[in-house]
Structure 1
Amino acid sequence: MNEGKIIKFYREKYQMTQEQLGKGICSGTHISKIERLHTEYAPEIITLLSQRLGINIENELIKLNTIKNRLNHWHDVIVMQLFDEMNLINHELEQDDLIQISDYINLYKLLRVRYLLMHNLTEEALEIINELQKKEHKLSSYEANLFKHVLGVYYLAKHENLKAIQVLKSINDTDYTNKEYTYHLAVAYHLNESPVMAYFFADKSRQFFKEINNYLRVIDAEMLMAIQVKDDGDFKETIYRFESLIKSCELCHSPDRKAKVLHNLAFEYFRRKNYELAHKYYNESMNLKNNDSSPYLLSFEGYIRSAYYGSLLPKDELLQLANEGLERALKKNEQLYINLFTLLSYLIQDKEQEYHQYLSEYSLPLFKKFGFVYLIKRSEKELFNYCFNQKKTRRALKMAHILINQ
């Protein structure tokens, strides 16, 4: 039955008419019926048509009939985050023209979005998302829920955390067996500073990753759970969790994950005003990262900030580091880090008025635009304290009203 679909695909690919293809073999009308699956045909005719098209029909049938299995395997590899194999399969599928006529073209496009998002290619991903939205009603139940999943991951990439929560919560896990989405839902709740919900869904994702024997993703889930524990007395339990995660990363030979764990441990020390250890772990995290990457800039900012509040480095050295960070951010055109390093520069130079003016006019609107909840809250508290100390009563009251409503 699929022979007709394959003949039609290659005929159109090579821009041949039905009459040109059938000349000396059969009529154009007969080819039309073969392509539309409206007639019986002799195997010899298919063989002759295939030879004229320069294809091996048996090989083409095998490729077409195994597309679903290959796509399912690609999906598993994406969930496991096996990047080398993921890239190899992507390349193979890109070379396979028959995907365009398979029954699984939508599944391929959905997985292609996941692949692009894992490589931070959000604009290319959005093009496919827009295309799929137009035919969302034609998706199978599984594909419709997968579409919600990839849409949630896209919203996370664009820092639209509330949208991510809304769409991921609407997934029907009876029809959608890939419980990886609970991890992305946990991330969205974490970024929205909802620790109870983040912990709950991170634990669900941990159970799923254990079921599929994906221990690297178990580390991801457990790290997310660890950073939700805000007040644990003497902090010993949190330290133990992070130390265990670091050992797990080393056992699994995963320096990227170890860098993330060290960064989060540094932040926990920073939050508790232990600036010396925060500074130490930010530095260890940086040493495991590509110094041209955004994750490096994030740890670099924490490294400088903890050194400033802990008086760990001379001011001239701190300013030099802040300017270096700003230069890197400008080179990458990373607006978040341009703002963060500019603020650090003002802070180090004790330019209080310039700092709070920049924070109010540029940084806070940017943080709100992208939904950086922690930075929004920190900025609004800083602006309230500044206005109160400067006896700008009306402005202070306005900021106090915002903080109370939060």
Structure 2
Amino acid sequence: MHIGKRLLYLRKKNSLSLEQAAQGIVSSTHLSNIENGRFQPSDEILQLLAKKYNVPEKYLLAYDKKDPQIDQPLKEVLFFLITDKTAEAETRLKKVREKGFIPHLEQELEYNILHTCMLVKKNLPYEEELEKLNLLVSGDELEYPSYVHQCYAYLMEQISFRQGDFEKCYHYIQIFLKYNLPPSVYATIQFHLLIILFHLRKRILAVKQAEKGLKIFFQNHQWKFVTETYNILLAIYWTEEDYETALNYGKKALELAETFKFEDTKSRVYHNLGITYKSLKMYETAEEMLAKSIELHRKANQFPRNSLWSILDMFAEIDDKEKFAHWYQQVEPDDEEFFYLYVKMNPDKIGEYLDKLDKLAQKAEKDGRWDLAVEAYHLLSKYFYKNRKYKTAIRYYQKIICIHERDKKTLWKKIGFTVPLSFFAFAIPH
């Protein structure tokens, strides 16, 4: 690492060209060489640049002097972020920031990476901070001190996860696992790896990872991870249509969730059990499970989108208008996605909502909601085929074919099934 990257960042932050920044100090060529790490600037040059960039001289002159007072707090932040103790992480970052400028290059980089990571964890906008980091960090350069690179690998893994790029996520988590990790962090990352393998459709590897993880979680009495792992195994075996094994894991997950009062997990398990019973055409039991999931979401002041969608979709499929009407009362009036289910339940009214249904399908396709897009396009194609508008029907069928081709290379999104996306905080939408 060299001071040039910081100088490059400061120049761009001040919207100065090389010529403008170098004027009266050095030649633009010399400044370019400094920024690229080819030349080491003198203290005099750094003092003049500090004045031009309106930063304290110490910020540039003391770039290789660590501040021992902030070293330990920075080392603790990553642990708190990984173990989902965001408040503690935020407190320590605030204390570091209160000291003002961080002269030491590595420490400033650690702070910037960890701060960006915290924004990602809190689902806050992070793009501006990431753009700043990209000026200070050169991708996967492994010459960084281990903690800096460890923080960066975790950040990129989190961003990739949020963006749904699970291949890249898998890449970064493998880098992260090369480091010597505390037991609680190691367990958390092992669980996260299981979720990634699930999304990558690597069923055999996911099952093996679950077995490995369960040994670790049992040894450390990490019952939350055990419960969530059982829930993921329920999802895995459901996709394989091995419903007996799926239900077995679901019941284990439910027992633990009830024992330890993991209400958030319990709502997901009830949901997944409901989907499984729905697949078995045990509709009364499916409704009972999904209703319990909905109730738990309501108690937590959360809109039960996944479970409500699944229960309505089930009654639309079996054409139970009475049950559908009962549950549809819980839908918010302006919710466009649930409108699709209303049309599915009332196919005779499709003609009244063609434009609205088309817009919904396009939005679902744009958002990567392949199942919803396909089903909406399918309703439209059937309508136009029935009304002998064959060219329009073919156009919608072509859209469906394109989505199926694209879906071979995209992440797995089964409508209705939920597993945690990141340390129990998220679930797959529908």
More relative contact order, 1 or 2 (CA 8 Å, 6+ apart): 2
Of all paired residues, the percent bearing the same amino acid is 15
1:115 pairs with 2:118: yes
Compute the displacement of 1:318 (Å): 4.5
1:65-90, Cα deviation, whole Å (9 max, x unpaired): 36444444443333333x4xx41442
Segments of 5+ residues of structure 2 without an aligned counterpart are: 1-56, 409-430
2:149 pairs with 144, 166, 183, which one? 144
Q: Which residue of 1 aligns with 2:178?
A: 174
1:137-158, Cα deviation, whole Å (9 max, x unpaired): 375344335434323323433x
Q: Distance in 2 between matches of 1:229 and 1:343?
A: 29
* Equivalent position amino acid for 2:363 in 1: L
Compute the displacement of 1:197 (Å): 5.4
1:352 pairs with 2:350: yes
Q: Which residue of 2 aligns with 1:133?
A: 134
1:320 pairs with 2:351: no
- Asked whether the equivalents of residues 168 and 181 of structure 1 are also in contact (C-alpha less than 8 Å), the reply is no
Compute the displacement of 1:242 (Å): 0.8
- Asked whether the equivalents of residues 77 and 89 of structure 2 are also in contact (C-alpha less than 8 Å), the reply is yes
User: Cα distance 1:168–1:255, how it changes in 2: closer, same or farther (>3 A)?
Assistant: same
User: Cα distance 1:397–1:374, how it changes in 2: closer, same or farther (>3 A)?
Assistant: closer
Hey, which of these two has a bigger chunk of helix by percent? 1
User: Cα distance 1:259–1:213, how it changes in 2: closer, same or farther (>3 A)?
Assistant: same
- Asked whether the equivalents of residues 81 and 89 of structure 2 are also in contact (C-alpha less than 8 Å), the reply is no
User: Cα distance 1:193–1:231, how it changes in 2: closer, same or farther (>3 A)?
Assistant: closer
Segments of 5+ residues of structure 1 without an aligned counterpart are: 1-31, 38-60, 328-337
TM-score by length of 1: 0.65
* Secondary structure in 1 matching 2:322: coil
Q: Distance in 1 between matches of 2:212 and 2:253?
A: 18
Q: Which residue of 2 aligns with 1:283?
A: 291
1:274 pairs with 2:272: no
Q: Distance in 2 between matches of 1:285 and 1:90?
A: 32
Aligned residues: 328
Q: Which residue of 2 aligns with 1:65?
A: 68
Compute the displacement of 1:255 (Å): 0.8
Q: Distance in 2 between matches of 1:99 and 1:389?
A: 69
- Asked whether the equivalents of residues 381 and 396 of structure 2 are also in contact (C-alpha less than 8 Å), the reply is yes
1:12-67, Cα deviation, whole Å (9 max, x unpaired): xxxxxxxxxxxxxxxxxxxx99x967xxxxxxxxxxxxxxxxxxxxxxx9xx5364
* Equivalent position amino acid for 1:265 in 2: L
User: Cα distance 1:314–1:281, how it changes in 2: closer, same or farther (>3 A)?
Assistant: closer
* Equivalent position amino acid for 1:369 in 2: K
Q: Distance in 2 between matches of 1:317 and 1:98?
A: 58
Q: Distance in 2 between matches of 1:387 and 1:379?
A: 13
Q: Which residue of 1 aligns with 2:90?
A: 90
Compute the displacement of 1:187 (Å): 3.6
User: Cα distance 1:345–1:397, how it changes in 2: closer, same or farther (>3 A)?
Assistant: closer
Q: Distance in 2 between matches of 1:377 and 1:176?
A: 45
Q: Distance in 2 between matches of 1:339 and 1:240?
A: 36
User: Cα distance 1:314–1:226, how it changes in 2: closer, same or farther (>3 A)?
Assistant: closer
Q: Which residue of 2 aligns with 1:80?
A: 83
Q: Distance in 2 between matches of 1:274 and 1:225?
A: 21
User: Cα distance 1:184–1:234, how it changes in 2: closer, same or farther (>3 A)?
Assistant: closer
Q: Distance in 1 between matches of 2:268 and 2:322?
A: 24
Compute the displacement of 1:93 (Å): 3.3
Q: Distance in 2 between matches of 1:185 and 1:390?
A: 50
Compute the displacement of 1:227 (Å): 0.2
* Secondary structure in 2 matching 1:304: helix
Q: Distance in 1 between matches of 2:275 and 2:281?
A: 10
- Asked whether the equivalents of residues 145 and 176 of structure 1 are also in contact (C-alpha less than 8 Å), the reply is no
Q: Which residue of 2 aligns with 1:244?
A: 252
Higher mean displacement: 345-354 or 184-193: 184-193
1:365 pairs with 2:370: no
Higher mean displacement: 239-248 or 300-309: 300-309
- Asked whether the equivalents of residues 152 and 168 of structure 1 are also in contact (C-alpha less than 8 Å), the reply is yes
- Asked whether the equivalents of residues 242 and 261 of structure 1 are also in contact (C-alpha less than 8 Å), the reply is yes
- Asked whether the equivalents of residues 308 and 318 of structure 1 are also in contact (C-alpha less than 8 Å), the reply is no
User: Cα distance 1:147–1:270, how it changes in 2: closer, same or farther (>3 A)?
Assistant: farther
User: Cα distance 1:146–1:73, how it changes in 2: closer, same or farther (>3 A)?
Assistant: closer
Q: Which residue of 2 aligns with 1:105?
A: 108
Within a 5 Å distance, the mapping from 1:334-353 to structure 2 comes to 338-350=335-347, 351-353=349-351
